[in-house]
Chain A
């Protein structure tokens, strides 16, 4: 019968190492927990399990250089990929900004187009009036064949086309 006094129980709870030290396997023993057992009469003599202690990587000399180069290249690759991703993002951003700017410009152009259109209309109207006035004044004075002879064809063409059209229209109305 175990002694269940409070002091004993306390000692068992808080000083576990004292009572459990004998249960733990010795530190220098093999890692195979079945080494001492028999399997159908055969004893496993070889330690088939790897030791739990991790192997230190044998980085020495040239290997270290290669490894550092590899790590460096991987780091560079990472930065390149990151830069690539960033550049794609930047490209997208630029495109978006470009589209936005273009749209903005178009909107601005559309807004500012009305006065331009008016200005254009005014200029065209003035030019047209000038030509018509010049033309009318020429005919009012009585244009002669001599005047036509000295004029460029580009100026004569609209005059002839216009007068022929007017003559044809007048003839239709008379008929």
Chain B
């Protein structure tokens, strides 16, 4: 009991001492950000439009659409290229692999799902080739 009490209290003490010493050593605290600055409605400050208000993914999507990219998350199906070994259909991803689905023929009733890996062209069982290329993350500012 005594041992566990000592462990707990020394742990708490050590942590608070470490944190406060680090805080003291790193200079005066930064100024608090006023979250509501410029956001109070007045005659010239009203309900904003989406671009003046959004943050995060929501903003990313809006900016992408503004820049002419109407599919920033690559949710839409892409058209197959020639699909030979020399000219495969290029699929992009920032990751090492991506799951794709091939609609082998126009009247196919099923989709063939498979993984494509970077640097390793893949052939669907129907004969078309796919290749995974880098997709640099697009920044919109």
A and B interact physically? no
Q: Which residue numbers of B lie inside 8 Å of A, CB to CB? A: none
Q: What residues of chain A have their CB less than 8 Å away from a CB belonging to chain B?
A: none
